[in-house]
Structure 1
Amino acid sequence: MCAHNPPCPTAEAPDREAARLCAHRPEQGWSLLCNGVFLFEDTGELLPDGRIVPPLRSLDLARAAA
Structure 2
Amino acid sequence: MLNRTDLKQHYRLESPASPEALARAETVLGRPLHPDYAVFLRLSDGLYTGGNLVLLDAWEMPLV
Do the structures match in fold with TM over 0.5?
no
* Greater strand proportion: 1
Q: Whose relative contact order is higher, 1 or 2, with alpha carbons under 8 Å and at least 6 apart?
A: 2
Larger Rg: 1
For Structure 1 versus Structure 2, the TM-score category normalised by the shorter chain is under 0.3
* Greater helix proportion: 2
